[in-house]
C-alpha cells in the first residue's frame, strides 16, 4: 500500500523533518502544485503559516498536526469549516515554558545579563555592581491562567511571590485573586507575565494603558506571542521610562527584533526558546507524530485543539 502524502511546512526541526520523511511520502512546498491532490496531512510549527490559500490548494487535506501548543499560524475557521482535523502539543511543554518565564523575570529583576556583561567587561575590579530589585515578596500578575499559566504560578509561589491573574473567565478552582481586566491586574502588581494564546482575541491586549498601569517600576514578561503586546507602545514605554523593564521571548515579527529594544539595558531578550529544551522538543515531536499517525489510522487525535471539541 502506498504511504500517505504529508506536506512539511517549513521551518521544521531537522529531526521532525526527517521523521516525517522516514514515515511518510513527504512533500515540501516546492513540490506543489504538482503534488497538491495527493496531500492528506500537514505538519507545521508556529512559524509556518497555514493560511486559507494553502488549505484551499489542497483538496484532500484531512489533518494538520502542529508542533507547538499555539496554533495562531493556522487559519482554524477555514480548516474546521472544511472538516479538517487540527492538533497541537499541549502539556508536554508546560515546564519548559514556565521555566523560561521565571528565568526572564529573575533575569530582568536581578539584572543577570547586565551583571554578566559587567564582569566580562572587567568592571568589577573598579567597584561592586549596583543593588537590584528582588523577586521574593513581589506581586506578580499572570495574564492567562491555563496550563502554562498555572505552571508559572506554582513556581512564583515557590519564589515567595504574591500571585494574581487575569483570564478571559475566572478560573473556579484557584485561590489566586482575579482581576477583571488586564489594566486592573497591571495596576495591582509589580510584574506582569503574559501567557495567553496569540490570535485575534488577544491581539494588542497589552497596550499602552496596560503598560502605563504597570508603571516605571514594573516589569513585563512575554513568553506567549508578540502579537499580544503592542510592540511600538512597549518600546516607547521602555524608552521613556514609563515601564521599568521587560523580559521577552517573543516578538511581533520574529526573528526580527527592533534595534530600539536591543539598545535598551532594561530588557532581556531571548530568541523564542520557551519550549526549547532537548527533552521538551522530543516530547513535542513525538506527540505531533502520534497525532498524525492516529488520524491516519482511525481519524482520531490525541490532542485536538479545543475548537474541535467545542
Ligand atoms: C514553538 C511555541 O512551537 O508551542 C508554541 O506555541 O511557540 C513554541 O513551542 C516552537 O518554537 C517549536 O516549533
In this predicted structure, what is the pLDDT of residue 62?
98
In this predicted structure, what is the pLDDT of residue 126?
98
DSSP3 helix / strand / coil % (the chain, rounded to 5): 40, 20, 40
Whole-angstrom distance, CA of residue 283 vs CA of residue 292: 14
Query: What's the mean pLDDT when you consider all of the chain?
Result: 98
In this predicted structure, what is the pLDDT of residue 309?
85
Q: Which of 88, 149, 284, 289 to mutate to test the pocket of ligand 1 (most atoms within 8 A of CB)?
A: 284
Q: Domains of the chain by range and CATH? A: 5-90+278-309 (3.40.50.720), 94-269 (3.40.50.720)
Whole-angstrom distance, CA of residue 25 vs CA of residue 10: 16
Neighbours of 155 (CB within 10 A): 17
Give the end-to-end CA distance of the chain in Å, rounded to a whole number: 35
Q: Mean per-residue pLDDT for 63-69?
A: 98
What tens digit of pLDDT does each residue of 112-147 get? 999 999 999 999 999 999 999 999 999 999 999 999
Report how far apart, in Å, the C-alpha atoms of 69 and of each of 44, 88, 98, 179, 299 are. 12, 5, 13, 25, 20
Under the banding of pLDDT at 50, 70 and 90, the label for residue 310 is: confident
Whole-angstrom distance, CA of residue 227 vs CA of residue 36: 31
Phi, psi of 109 (to 5 degrees): -65, -40
Distance (Å) from CA 222 to ligand 1 centroid: 14
Residue 148 in contact with ligand 1 by CB distance below 6 A: no
Residue 167 in contact with ligand 1 by CB distance below 6 A: no
Whole-angstrom distance, CA of residue 129 vs CA of residue 142: 30
pTM: 0.97
DSSP 130: P
- Percent of the chain at pLDDT > 90 equals 99
| 63 contacts 40 by C-beta, under 8 angstroms | yes
Res. 13: pLDDT tops 70 = yes
Q: Which of 10, 48, 93 to mutate to test the pocket of ligand 1 (most atoms within 8 A of CB)?
A: 93
Residue 227 in contact with ligand 1 by CB distance below 6 A: no
Residue 198 in contact with ligand 1 by CB distance below 6 A: no
The Cα diameter of the chain in Å comes to 73
Residue 100 in contact with ligand 1 by CB distance below 6 A: no
Which atom of ligand 1 lies closest to the CA of 70? 6
Residue 73 in contact with ligand 1 by CB distance below 6 A: no
CA atoms within 13 A on the CB side of 162: 9
Buried (b) or exposed (e) across 18-34, using 16+ Cβ within 10 A? ebbeeebebbeeeeeee
Beta strands (DSSP E) in the chain are 5-8, 25-27, 39-45, 63-67, 85-87, 139-143, 162-166, 191-194, 219-222, 245-248, 267-269
Cell 529531526, located at residue: 15
Q: How far is CA 137 from the centre of its chain?
A: 27
Under the banding of pLDDT at 50, 70 and 90, the label for residue 1 is: low
Res. 75: pLDDT tops 90 = yes
Which residue has its alpha carbon closest to ligand 1 atom 4? 68
Positions annotated as catalytic residues are 225, 254, 272
What tens digit of pLDDT does each residue of 157-200 get? 999 999 999 999 999 999 999 999 999 999 999 999 999 999 99
Which residue has its alpha carbon closest to ligand 1 atom 6? 70
Q: Which of 274, 279, 303 to mutate to test the pocket of ligand 1 (most atoms within 8 A of CB)?
A: 274
Which residue has its alpha carbon closest to ligand 1 atom 2? 68
Amino acid at each position: 500500500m502506498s504511504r500517505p502524502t504529508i506536506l512539511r511546512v517549513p521551518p521544521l526541526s531537522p529531526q521532525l523533518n526527517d521523521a516525517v520523511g522516514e514515515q511518510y511520502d513527504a512533500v515540501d512546498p516546492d513540490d506543489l502544485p504538482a503534488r497538491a491532490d495527493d496531500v492528506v496531512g500537514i505538519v507545521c510549527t508556529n512559524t509556518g503559516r497555514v493560511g486559507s490559500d494553502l488549505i484551499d490548494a489542497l483538496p484532500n487535506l484531512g489533518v494538520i498536526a502542529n508542533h507547538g501548543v499555539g496554533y495562531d499560524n493556522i487559519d482554524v475557521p477555514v480548516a474546521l469549516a472544511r472538516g479538517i482535523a487540527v492538533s497541537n502539543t499541549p502539556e508536554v511543554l508546560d515546564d519548559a515554558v514556565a521555566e523560561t518565564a521565571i528565568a526572564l523575570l529573575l533575569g530582568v529583576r536581578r539584572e543577570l545579563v547586565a551583571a554578566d556583561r559587567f564582569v566580562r567587561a572587567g568592571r568589577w575590579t573598579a567597584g561592586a555592581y549596583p543593588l537590584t530589585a528582588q523577586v521574593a515578596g513581589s506581586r506578580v500578575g499572570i495574564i492567562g491562567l491555563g496550563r502554562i499559566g498555572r505552571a508559572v504560578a506554582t513556581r512564583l509561589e515557590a519564589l515567595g511571590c504574591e500571585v494574581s491573574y487575569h483570564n478571559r473567565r475566572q478560573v473556579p478552582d484557584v485561590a489566586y485573586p482575579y482581576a477583571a481586566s488586564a489594566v486592573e491586574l497591571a495596576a495591582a502588581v509589580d510584574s506582569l507575565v503574559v501567557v495567553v494564546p496569540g490570535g485575534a482575541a488577544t491581539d494588542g491586549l497589552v497596550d499602552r494603558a496596560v503598560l502605563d498601569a504597570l508603571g516605571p517600576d514594573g516589569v513585563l514578561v512575554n513568553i506567549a506571542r508578540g502579537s499580544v503586546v503592542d510592540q511600538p507602545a512597549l518600546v516607547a514605554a521602555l524608552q521613556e521610562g514609563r515601564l521599568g523593564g521587560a523580559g521577552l521571548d517573543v516578538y511581533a515579527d520574529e526573528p526580527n527584533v527592533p534595534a530600539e529594544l536591543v539598545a535598551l539595558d532594561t530588557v532581556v531578550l531571548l530568541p523564542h526558546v520557551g519550549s526549547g529544551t532537548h527533552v521538551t522538543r522530543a516530547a513535542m515531536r513525538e506527540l505531533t507524530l502520534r497525532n498524525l499517525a492516529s488520524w491516519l489510522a482511525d481519524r482520531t487525535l490525541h490532542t485536538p485543539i479545543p475548537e474541535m471539541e467545542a
